[in-house]
């Protein structure tokens, strides 16, 4: 300001010019700032040290009080000991709330009691028979949002009518909050007891769901409600047929797959309510998972039925509108047509290309969850339908005891429908088996395994063919790991049902179950011999896949003895080759070029190299279960031969880097045959330790021998 006035002539001609360097203010104040920071740091540390000392003293006094209380209480009064224990814990919690400015003992206790009650209900929800009133919980949470009051008497209709007005205006955050409350409190179990009025509610819900297709929270909550309703509609009270095209149109949004050059996500979306997301974040499920649940529980509900054709309440198909897919021009349901299956096939026609290994993207995780959800809920529904009926509903005529509602009864999933669903799932799993995305590949392998129990004649020949092609392939060796894993998880259905050795002849003649089982056992035995070359120290993934395969086979059979009902396996040759290759891997890992620190091994017995585990002991490795099962399943003569071979390897090989792995094999052999293990393994190893002690004792060496570390 001074220089500006001087240049403008306001200060006169004799006024001097002043110049200050830019760094001068910082030079003048830096020393004071540094002293201030030092003083504040010292003060803060002193306060922290004081608080630490005080808290340590409080902790010590608490221990002293509890110790003296235990001394004071007689030994025949455990109730007093438990009381002192609880008071000691309460003292620390009370002190915490007292020291905090915002501490509230009442709120802390309420939170802990609520957590304990939630854990109790979550753990024993199927074993306890209690009625929990919803009104106190609703009022407590409702007051936190400062919304209007509501009343509830236990009916789904009253809950719906209470929250319905708030759902009409989608431009307010109250709509999303009301939807969260509706999804949380609506009792859909009334459907299984014949509660009426659900068709009208489903019609209103469908309109509300379609009103905001670009809000993830909105779509997710409505999809979750539809899934719960479909699951509990065990009597077929709801006529799903008119809504199937619109329902599957909404389900397509769950996968976020791109079409052409378009983005996988919509170009615009409505914002989520922060309050709704904070309150109902735990209720937000993956849309693809919920989509699979809806599809499974609406299967066989869109077939024509004499009850739906004569009941206008159940046959709401939108009169005055164009006929929907699966209906004739008069609006009657086409007999024998399951609209869900046709819609599912159309959906898979759209999604199938995105399962291909070359088509990777952010949608892979949604596709994997969709496949997992289809398999999971299909198995749950089939298991529920196979279980004996429970409850008081049923006379086979559609009459329901209760409120007089008339139901067509949800039909069970027929064998033909199961096969069609399995074929649809196999279309997706077939493409995704060799996906570069590990989550999608694992989901595909799991789908093969689960569908093998539902439609073994469709799955098992495909799995066997894929395994043979991957085994013989030269240019695509990376597929062998996935093929072995898929074959491994299908071993049990292969041994239970088998498959037709000649599919063409099986279609024309009667099914020979014994011949199919024999073919399955031969396929498993052949795979066990064919995968032995896959045990390679230079390819850990393939080696671990082979070990997993052997573990599954050994856990699925009784023993490896020859005879009727056993595997047609050359057991002696297989065991000999397996142990030889396992010992070869250990020798390769023991080689100096494979050690992480060869020099440390030579000079320090407790080095990191000797304590570190190889890929054989990784978290996902089945090496240990395989060795334990192997020695346990061997016949006595072959078991003795295997232990002798192991003893010869242990006593003649230096084991600095693979001590843990070798000790694991010895432990498995000792558990399977304790007396033989002591005689052939323990005594020779103890003899070697004694020799090393005599040899090294004169030199005063304090290191532990390699054999000693292995025994420990």
**Which tens digits make up the pLDDT trace of 373-414?**
999 999 999 998 887 765 544 444 443 344 434 444 578 888
* 289 vs 606 pLDDT, higher one: 289
Question: What pLDDT is attached to residue 146?
Answer: 41
CB atoms within 10 A of CB 560: 20
| Backbone φ/ψ region at 308: left (φ over 0), alpha (ψ -120 to 50), beta | alpha
d(CA 577, CA 468): 21
pLDDT classification of 356: cutoffs 50, 70, 90: confident
Say if pTM beats, i.e. exceeds, 0.75: no
Q: What is the pLDDT of residue 149?
A: 31
Q: Which residues contact 301 (CB under 8 A, 6 or more apart)?
A: 230, 233, 236, 238, 240, 241, 340, 410, 411
What are the pLDDT digits (tens) for 248-265?
Answer: 988 888 887 887 666 666
Winning range, highest mean pLDDT, from 62-66, 88-92, 320-324, 625-629? 625-629
In the predicted model, what is the mean pLDDT of the chain? 76
pLDDT digits (tens, 9 = 90+) for 69-90: 777 777 677 787 788 777 877 7
Q: What is the 3-state secondary structure (H, E, C) of 139-181?
A: HHHHHHHCCCCCCCCCCHHHHHHHHCHHHCCCCCHHHHHHHHH
pLDDT at 609 over 90: no
State the sign of the Cα–Cα–Cα–Cα dihedral 602, 603, 605, 611. negative
Let me know: does 371 contact 447? Beta carbons within 8 Å: yes
SS (H, E, C) 207-224: HHHHCCCCCHHHHHHHHH
pLDDT at 122: 79
User: Which sign, positive or negative, has the C-alpha torsion 626, 628, 629, 632?
Assistant: positive
Q: Is the pLDDT of residue 294 over 80?
A: yes
Q: Any idea which of 139-148, 158-167, 363-372, 438-447 has the lowest mean pLDDT?
A: 139-148
């Amino acid at each position: 300001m001074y220089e500006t006035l001087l240049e403008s002539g306001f200060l006169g001609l004799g006024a001097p010019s002043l110049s200050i360097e830019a760094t001068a203010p910082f030079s003048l104040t830096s020393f004071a700032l540094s002293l201030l920071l030092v003083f504040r740091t010292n003060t803060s540390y002193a306060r922290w040290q004081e608080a630490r000392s005080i808290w340590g003293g409080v902790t010590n006094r608490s221990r002293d009080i509890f110790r003296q209380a235990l001394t004071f209480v007689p030994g025949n009064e455990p109730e007093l000991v438990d009381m002192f224990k609880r008071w000691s814990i309460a003292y620390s919690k009370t002190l915490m709330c007292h020291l905090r400015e915002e501490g509230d003992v009442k709120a802390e206790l309420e939170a802990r009691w609520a957590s304990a009650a939630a854990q109790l209900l979550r753990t024993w929800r199927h074993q306890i028979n209690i009625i929990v009133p919803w009104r106190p919980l609703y009022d407590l949470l409702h007051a936190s949002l400062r919304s209007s009051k509501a009343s509830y008497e236990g009916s789904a209709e009253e809950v719906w009518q209470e929250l319905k007005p708030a759902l009409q205006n989608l431009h307010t955050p109250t709509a999303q909050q009301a939807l969260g409350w509706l999804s949380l409190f609506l009792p859909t179990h009334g459907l299984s007891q014949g509660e009426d009025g659900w068709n009208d509610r489903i019609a209103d819900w469908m309109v509300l769901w379609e009103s905001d297709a670009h809000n993830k929270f909105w779509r997710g909550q409505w999809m979750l409600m539809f899934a719960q309703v479909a699951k509990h509609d065990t009597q077929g009270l709801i006529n799903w047929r008119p809504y199937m095209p619109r329902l599957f149109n909404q389900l397509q949004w769950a996968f976020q797959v791109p079409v052409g050059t378009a983005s996988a996500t919509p170009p615009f979306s409505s914002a989520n309510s922060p309050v709704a997301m904070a309150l109902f974040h735990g209720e937000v499920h993956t849309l693809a998972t919920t989509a699979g649940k809806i599809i499974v529980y609406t299967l066989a509900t869109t077939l024509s039925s004499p009850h739906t054709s004569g009941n206008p309440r159940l046959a709401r198909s939108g009169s005055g509108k164009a006929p929907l897919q699966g209906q004739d021009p008069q609006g009657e349901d086409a007999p024998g047509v399951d609209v869900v299956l046709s819609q599912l096939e159309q959906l898979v026609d759209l999604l199938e290309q995105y399962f291909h290994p070359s088509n990777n993207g952010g949608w892979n995780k949604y596709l994997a969850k969709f496949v997992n959800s289809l398999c999971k809920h299909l198995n749950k529904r089939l298991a529920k339908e196979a279980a004996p009926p429970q409850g008081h509903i049923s006379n086979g005529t559609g009459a329901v005891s209760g409120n007089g509602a008339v139901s067509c009864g949800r039909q069970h999933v027929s064998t033909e429908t199961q096969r069609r669903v399995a074929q649809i799932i196999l279309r997706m799993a077939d493409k995704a088996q060799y996906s570069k995305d590990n989550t999608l590949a694992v989901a595909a392998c799991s789908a093969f395994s689960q569908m093998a129990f539902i439609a073994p004649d469709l799955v098992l020949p495909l799995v066997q063919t894929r395994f043979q092609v991957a085994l013989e392939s030269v240019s695509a060796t990376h597929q062998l790991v996935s093929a072995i894993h898929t074959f491994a998880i299908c071993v049990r259905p292969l041994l239970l049902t088998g498959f037709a050795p000649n599919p063409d002849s099986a279609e024309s003649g009667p099914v020979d179950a014994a011949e199919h089982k024999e073919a399955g056992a031969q396929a498993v035995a052949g795979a066990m011999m064919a995968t032995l070359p896959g045990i390679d120290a230079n390819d850990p993934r393939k080696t671990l896949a082979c070990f997993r395969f052997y573990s599954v086979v050994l856990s699925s059979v009784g023993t490896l003895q020859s005879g009727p009902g056993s595997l047609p396996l050359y057991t002696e040759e297989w065991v000999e080759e397996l142990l030889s290759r396992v010992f070869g891997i250990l020798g390769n890992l023991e080689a100096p070029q494979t050690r992480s620190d060869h020099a440390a091994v030579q000079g320090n017995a407790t080095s990191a190299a000797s304590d570190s585990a190889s890929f054989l002991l990784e978290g996902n490795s089945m090496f240990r279960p395989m060795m334990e099962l192997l020695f346990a399943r061997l016949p006595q003569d072959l078991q003795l031969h295997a232990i002798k071979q192991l003893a010869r390897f242990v006593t003649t090989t230096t084991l600095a880097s693979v001590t843990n792995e070798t000790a694991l094999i010895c432990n498995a052999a000792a558990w399977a045959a304790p007396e033989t293990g002591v005689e052939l393994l323990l005594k020779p190893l103890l003899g070697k330790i004694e020799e090393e002690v005599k040899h090294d004792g004169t030199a005063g060496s304090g290191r532990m021998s390699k054999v000693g570390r292995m025994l420990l």
